[in-house]
């Protein structure tokens, strides 16, 4: 096996919170040397603690979610000395990651034009809330509200919208920038030139609306919230409670799967009922079918039901807590081992595997502020 594919790549991370640091950890997991350059107060997520966390560390659970494998250095870019140090570092760097509000990078002399003038091979990734022309700062929850996600995430029509419990738009924005950085590295290998890469939470959110956006664009009808149900597939996404209290979800995507579901539930007549025999019919008679399923599933023990569905290749699963999900054997390879300095596991950002390079067996832990 060869070394990690980004071994020798030098990354300067000026970004904070989640989206940019997620990209930094991704690059570190693939072998890059990532130096996190922090303002004197440090990344704000160093102070984002849950009530269960100790108050004597600059590495919070939130901070640790995106900062494994990095070194930390304090750099005050409001001073001439700090700017000079950044320019010296950027002159030999491969990638710079930033998340400044438009105009702030120029004030701090940390913008692409300034740094690329000294290093034409530099790849500069910039994350903003609404694009380079908007002065607004970007916050995940606000963008969830403004781009339709919260509206769709309500328990049902007429009920209050809810934000998702993960800063999902930050994570999706990080994926957009990861893709852009990898393309820029490919282009630089061919041309020798670096790139300015601009990614916004707003555009990343819209790109991620997928079938919900297409529904509006094709039909002119605004998609409405359905709780965890699916607008065009039934039964798909609704949570049921079995006789033993197991919470479970069905994801029946075809008529054949629905017939198998009916067989497992000892209700074969549902499969030939004109209201339910095809997916369009099931969508049209959603409420009637959901009521029948809810009553029948409440009579059946959950564990045995899930096993029977799996044997017939009917997509279904138990609703797990985060802890239960991470305790599954299949989740172990996605976890980074604890270290002496940070005696807690971490979560990998790299979820793919390659025959050409190994997975990083371990990473340095999230650094304390100014820990090299």
Residues marked active site are found at 170
Q: Measured between alpha carbons, how far is 110 from 16 in angstroms, rounded to an integer?
A: 14
Q: Which residues of 52-63 are buried (b: 16+ CB within 10 A; e: fewer)?
A: eeeeeebbbebb
């Amino acid at each position: 096996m060869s070394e990690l594919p980004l071994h020798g790549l030098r990354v300067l991370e000026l970004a904070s919170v989640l989206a940019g640091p997620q990209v930094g950890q991704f690059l570190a997991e693939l072998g890059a040397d990532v130096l996190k350059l922090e303002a004197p107060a440090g990344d704000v997520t160093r102070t984002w603690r849950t009530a269960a966390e100790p108050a004597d560390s600059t590495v919070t659970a939130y901070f640790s979610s995106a900062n494994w494998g990095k070194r930390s250095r304090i750099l005050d870019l409001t001073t001439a000395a700090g700017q000079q140090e950044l320019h010296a570092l950027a002159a030999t760097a491969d990638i710079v990651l930033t998340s400044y509000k438009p105009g702030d990078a120029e004030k701090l002399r940390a913008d692409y034009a300034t740094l690329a003038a000294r290093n034409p091979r530099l790849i500069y990734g910039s994350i903003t809330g609404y694009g380079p022309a908007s002065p607004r700062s970007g916050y995940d929850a606000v963008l969830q509200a403004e781009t339709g996600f919260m509206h769709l995430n309500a328990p049902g029509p007429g009920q209050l919208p809810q934000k998702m419990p993960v800063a999902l738009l930050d994570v999706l924005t990080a994926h957009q920038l990861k893709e852009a950085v990898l393309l820029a590295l490919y282009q630089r290998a061919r041309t020798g030139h670096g790139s300015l890469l601009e990614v916004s939470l707003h555009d990343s959110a819209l790109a991620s609306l997928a079938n919900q956006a297409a529904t509006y664009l094709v039909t002119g009808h605004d998609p409405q919230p359905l709780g965890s149900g699916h607008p065009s597939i039934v039964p798909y996404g609704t949570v049921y409670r079995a006789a033993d209290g197991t919470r479970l979800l069905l994801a029946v995507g075809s008529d054949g799967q629905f017939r198998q579901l009916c067989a497992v539930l000892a209700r074969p007549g549902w499969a030939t009922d004109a209201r339910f025999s095809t997916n369009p019919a099931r969508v049209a008679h959603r409420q009637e079918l959901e009521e029948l399923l809810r009553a029948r599933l409440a009579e059946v023990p959950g564990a045995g039901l899930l096993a029977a569905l799996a044997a017939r290749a009917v997509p279904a699963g138990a609703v797990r807590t985060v802890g239960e999900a991470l305790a599954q054997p299949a989740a172990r390879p996605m976890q980074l081992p604890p270290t002496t300095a940070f005696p807690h596991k971490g979560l990998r950002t790299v979820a793919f595997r390659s025959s050409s390079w190994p997975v990083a067996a371990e990473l340095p832990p999230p650094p304390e502020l100014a820990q090299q």
